[in-house]
Structure 1
Amino acid sequence: MSTRPETMDFLLDQIAALPHVRTRRMFGEYCVYLDDKPTAFVCDGQLFVKITGAGRALLPNPRYGRPYPGAKDYFLLRPDEWEDRPALCELLATTSRALPPAKPRKRAAERRPRQ
């Protein structure tokens, strides 16, 4: 089951206070980027936030899940847990700050193998 656009609209409204947020649709699901860092996934209408020590400090009883088969564990937040806008924004912002800087993207000419 893929995530409905209405679900993404609600999430983006909840985190609208955060700067530099973008999403990218992937296989019917979504990746949430903060400051060009992949910070979370939205799969099957649930939010999967990357695990960091800083994020763990904000979640007293975290629940874990995997956004897709073969993935590592992530913090799992169901849509009913998205209601607390300040807490949600704080978790995502804190997680993004704890992640390493985004790697610069290579230009197409640099990605092609030499012949």
Structure 2
Amino acid sequence: MGTDLNYIQYVVEQVGLGSRLTHKKMFGEYALYVDGKVVAFVCDNSLFVKPSQAAVKLTPHLPQRAPYPGARNYPVADELLDDSDSLRRLILETAVLMPEPKPKASRKTK
């Protein structure tokens, strides 16, 4: 089905991190980044937070399912969209636990 851009904008607004939270379209769906770190995916208009100790600690009750065929299960945080404070905390604590983005390789000029 693919994710609607309006849904992405709604998620970004609900998280409330301003320019710290960015998104990038990937294969018809979206990845969400905090300070350059991937923290979640939005697939078929559902918010999938990266599995981490933050999700286990803060939201053990969230349902889990695969965001796309062949993926492992991720916590589905759709129910937190009505609770911006809890969602923001989950996203920020997840970001702390994610690895730093790899530096992009420089292109050699010919």
Taking structure 1 as the reference length, what is the TM-score of the superposition?
A: 0.85
Within the alignment, does 1:30 sit opposite 2:30 as a pair? yes
Task: Specify every segment of 5 or more residues in structure 2 that has no aligned partner in the other structure, as ranges.
Answer: none
**Superimposed CA distance per residue, residues 30-63 of structure 1 (whole angstroms, 9 cap, x where no aligned partner):** 1001111111000000001111112210013121
CA distance in 2, matches of 1:64, 1:94: 18
Taking structure 2 as the reference length, what is the TM-score of the superposition?
A: 0.89
Give the equivalent residue in structure 1 for 2:72: 72
Task: Specify every segment of 5 or more residues in structure 1 that has no aligned partner in the other structure, as ranges.
Answer: 111-115
CA distance in 2, matches of 1:65, 1:18: 28
CA distance in 2, matches of 1:72, 1:59: 18
CA distance in 2, matches of 1:109, 1:32: 30
Give the equivalent residue in structure 2 for 1:3: 3
CA distance in 1, matches of 2:8, 2:42: 8
Shift >6 Å, 4+ stretches: none
CA distance in 2, matches of 1:66, 1:105: 28
The alignment partner of 1:102 has SS state of coil
Give the equivalent residue in structure 2 for 1:83: 82
Query: Does the Cα contact within 8 Å between 1:15 and 1:88 map onto a contact in 2?
Result: yes
The alignment partner of 1:95 has SS state of helix
The alignment partner of 2:69 has SS state of coil
Q: Percent identity among equivalent residues?
A: 33
Within the alignment, does 1:61 sit opposite 2:61 as a pair? yes
CA distance in 1, matches of 2:108, 2:64: 40
Of the two, which has the highest radius of gyration? 1
* Farther off after superposition, 62-71 or 81-90: 62-71
* Farther off after superposition, 41-50 or 54-63: 54-63
Query: Does the Cα contact within 8 Å between 2:16 and 2:84 map onto a contact in 1?
Result: no
